[in-house]
Structures are given as structure tokens and as C-alpha cells.
Structure 1
Amino acid sequence: MERHITVARTARYQQLGILSSQTRRVWFVCHGYGQLAAYFVRHFAFLAEADPATVIIAPEGLSRFYLSGNGGRVGASWMTRDDRLHEIQDHVNFLNQLAAAVLAQCPPDVHVTVLGFSQGTATVGRWLAQAAFRPAHLILWAGGFPEDLAPTAASKLLKGLLLTIVIGTADEYISTAQAEQQHQQLQQFGAATRLLTFAGRHELNRALLEQLAAVRK
């Protein structure tokens, strides 16, 4: 008979910038499948370098593995289909603890942006539905909002929320048509949703990140 026990473990995250009473903008950025936070966070380094009041927080999925065979490069995952519900809750707990520690060091009116990339989009959706705070801006990049989230929880999170969906026109995992369909679905929950595209594949795009960083609610 399968049983479970809750244990304490060490989670890892990357931080760019210094948290203080002068912090005005915090970005929580969640990587995709098979990535590590140390590499993913580099895409956002220019934001912190350009503005000392901006801090980037990049949590890393709790499950790490070799990307090929029994050695070499390592990647991380937020969850798989095996023991899925417990993995989801473990990550929600991790992200809630991290956010509480980060935001406690910031002014109450700090502008929070949450970005999920690829597999990280579902992760941030599930997390924010149980979070103690509500971001000013949610960005779903090259991935989808979790379809298994209860409609009441989705509506509570999304109603009136500034939400941007981003997709590369040559993305090999999600089409612009699928992104457009999701755009329309999320509008039904009351989100202030927009869909942005760029000429690229399943990847981040600096020019669009610069544009999104300029958004203020």
C-alpha cells in the first residue's frame, strides 16, 4: 500500500538584485521543463542591471535529473504525472514560503510581476491560486494556464488581473491558434488579457521582455 510522509527539504532559487526598502519591482520567473534556474535567470539580468530598484527571483523545480543518460547536463522539472498532486502541492508550498520571505523585505506597494515559461506557466497558475498575494502582472510565455484549476479559483485569481500571453510564431510546442483560443477562454474569467507574438521559437525574447518590463498597472 502506497503511503506518504511530509519531510523538510532544501529548495534552490536564484536572485538578481538586492532586496530592500528601495525595491520597487520584483519579478518571480519560473523556468520550463529541463531547465535550471541559474541559466534561466540570465535572460532577465538586463532588467536588474538597468534598474537597481528591480529584483529578479528565479525558483527552481524540486525535481532534478540528467537530461541524457546517467551523466552530463542536469535539468529540473516542476512535476510529472507520477504522484502529481503531491508534487504540485510541494511546489506551491515552496513558492509561497519563498514569496513570503522576499516580499517581507519590500515596501507594501512593490510592483510584482510573475512570469512562467513553458511548463512553468501551469506552475505559476496553480501557485497564484493559493498564494497570499496577487501580482500586478501575470505573464504566461509559451505555455498554458492550468486547465485543471477549479473555475472558482481561476475566476478569483484572474478577475481584473493584467495577464499577457506570449508565443513565438514558430513555437514547436504551442501554436498561435492555441494561444488565441486560450486568450479568449481566460477573458471569460474576467482577466485583462492580451496576446503578444514574436518571430521566434520556444524561447524568450529580449525585446518583448523590455516591453513587458515597461508595463505599470
Structure 2
Amino acid sequence: MSTIKEHLVSYQSTNSYSTLHKLSATTENVWIVFHGIGYLSRYFIRLFNHLDSDKNYIIAPQAPSKYYKGEDYRKVGSSWLTKENTAIDKQNVLAYVDAIIEHENIPEDKNLIVLGYSQGVSIASRWVTSRKTKCDSLLFVSGGFPKELGKEDVAFLENQTRIIHILGEKDPYFNIEKIDQEKDRLIQLMPTIEFRTHDGGHELNPESLQDIL
């Protein structure tokens, strides 16, 4: 009878990420933006092109797992995590984000804005809470907050971080009951959280970010 075993190995890995505009003396805000499933960072980051290039510097990490989209195998998408080996993959992704932050060496006098869109919400929130990242704003766009995170994980954000949840009114992935349940849970965890909507669907609407700064 054959015996199947799974084993773990560690190795060094290399991954890309994208930036928009320049980090300079005039930069006021540094954005770290996590894309949703199916995106590549170089395309997702274009959604922030409307931000003032003198005042805003945008960093878009790239999800490591890539795959072909559609039946013609021409377009490439990516994914952060799946239900397979989630705990291990999560630690790999968080270590990758840490490497980006170390490489960028962001000055402490800049406003730090962390944004997660769709699947990227899970990475943005896990990175911020696990590293106790002191950010000025934390934005959740069209995505769910990880179930394993509790009030003790987000308590350090209170009174120092503006937390905003943004959802499209026509988002097909959320119904009213789910939205209300999620709001109730988030209010229990983060009482100061703000809820916003836009008239679109499951998308990052640039206009909904206009008054964040």
C-alpha cells in the first residue's frame, strides 16, 4: 500500500512590486495598496493615477500566485491566498510585504495609508495587525475582514488610525444581510470605523477616495 506524505522546505524567493510617482521631499502621503484576485499590481496601481504626483507615492505589492485567465490563456491574474496551506502562505506573503517596506525605507514624517481591495483586504488587515503597523488611514474596499482577528488585534489602532470601509451599492458579492452582519462585527472590533458606499459594483471607485487625504 502506497503512503503519501507532505513535506515542507524553505527556500529564498523573489517577487516584484509596482510603484507610482516618486518618493521625495514633497511627498506627503505614502499608500500601500493591495489588489484583489485576478489583478497584477502594475495594472491595479493605475487606479491611483489621479492622485497628486507631488504629494502621493503609491506602492502596490504583487500577489505571488499567478495563473492564466480565460480560455485563451493570454491574460494573467494572481491570487494572494487560498484555503490550501493558508497559514504557511500567509506567513510567506507577510514576510514579502516586510521586505518591500524595508527596501522602500519610508520616512517617518509621511502619512501612511494602507488600502486593501477585495481579496487584498485580508492581506492589508493581517499585515497591519500582525506587525502593529502605525498607519494614519486603513481602508477596506469591497472585502471582508478576516474572521480570526479579534478586538485585541486591532486595539492599538484606536485613536491613531482612521478606518474606513467602502462598498459599492451594486456589489453582487454582498447582500444586505451579510453587509449588516459585517458592519455589526466591525463596529464591535473598531468602534470608530466609518462606512461609505458608492453607486458602482465590486470595484475600487477612485472618487470614493477623494476626501481621504
Aligned match for 1:62, one of 61, 64, 70: 64
CA distance in 2 between partners of 1:199 and 1:150 (Å): 30
Deviation (angstroms), 1:176: 4.8
CA distance in 1 between partners of 2:71 and 2:148 (Å): 32
Deviation (angstroms), 1:188: 2.0
- Give the corresponding residue for 2:115: 115
Instruction: Give the structure-2-normalised TM-score.
Output: 0.90
CA distance in 2 between partners of 1:21 and 1:10 (Å): 30
Deviation (angstroms), 1:210: 1.6
Aligned match for 1:101, one of 100, 103, 110: 103
Alpha-carbon displacement from aligned partner over 1:78-113 (angstroms, at most 9, x marks no partner): 0111111111111111111212322x242x121011
Alpha-carbon displacement from aligned partner over 1:4-56 (angstroms, at most 9, x marks no partner): 11211111111011123432210111110111111111100111xx2412101
Using the aligned pairs only, state the percent identity. Answer: 29
Q: What count of residue pairs does the alignment treat as equivalent?
A: 208
Q: Does 1:159 align with 2:158?
A: yes
- Give the corresponding residue for 1:41: 45
Q: Which runs of 5+ in 1 are unaligned?
A: none
The equivalences for 1:1-217 within 5 A come to: 1-47=5-51, 50-69=52-71, 71-102=73-104, 104-106=105-107, 108-131=108-131, 133-156=133-156, 158-160=157-159, 161-212=161-212, 214=213
Q: Partner letter of residue 185 of structure 1?
A: R
Instruction: Tell me if the contact between 2:22 and 2:53 (Cα under 8 Å) persists in the aligned partners.
Output: no
Q: Partner letter of residue 158 of structure 2?
A: K
CA distance in 2 between partners of 1:105 and 1:141 (Å): 24
Q: Partner letter of residue 194 of structure 1?
A: E
Instruction: Give the structure-1-normalised TM-score.
Output: 0.88
State the SS of the aligned residue for 2:10.
coil
Deviation (angstroms), 1:132: 5.4
CA distance in 2 between partners of 1:132 and 1:110 (Å): 17
Q: Which runs of 5+ in 2 are unaligned?
A: none
Instruction: Tell me if the contact between 2:116 and 2:124 (Cα under 8 Å) persists in the aligned partners.
Output: yes
CA distance in 2 between partners of 1:117 and 1:190 (Å): 19
CA distance in 2 between partners of 1:177 and 1:26 (Å): 35
CA distance in 2 between partners of 1:20 and 1:138 (Å): 22
CA distance in 2 between partners of 1:211 and 1:179 (Å): 23
State the SS of the aligned residue for 1:115.
strand
CA distance in 1 between partners of 2:150 and 2:206 (Å): 33
Alpha-carbon displacement from aligned partner over 1:94-136 (angstroms, at most 9, x marks no partner): 111212322x242x12101111000000111111112253111
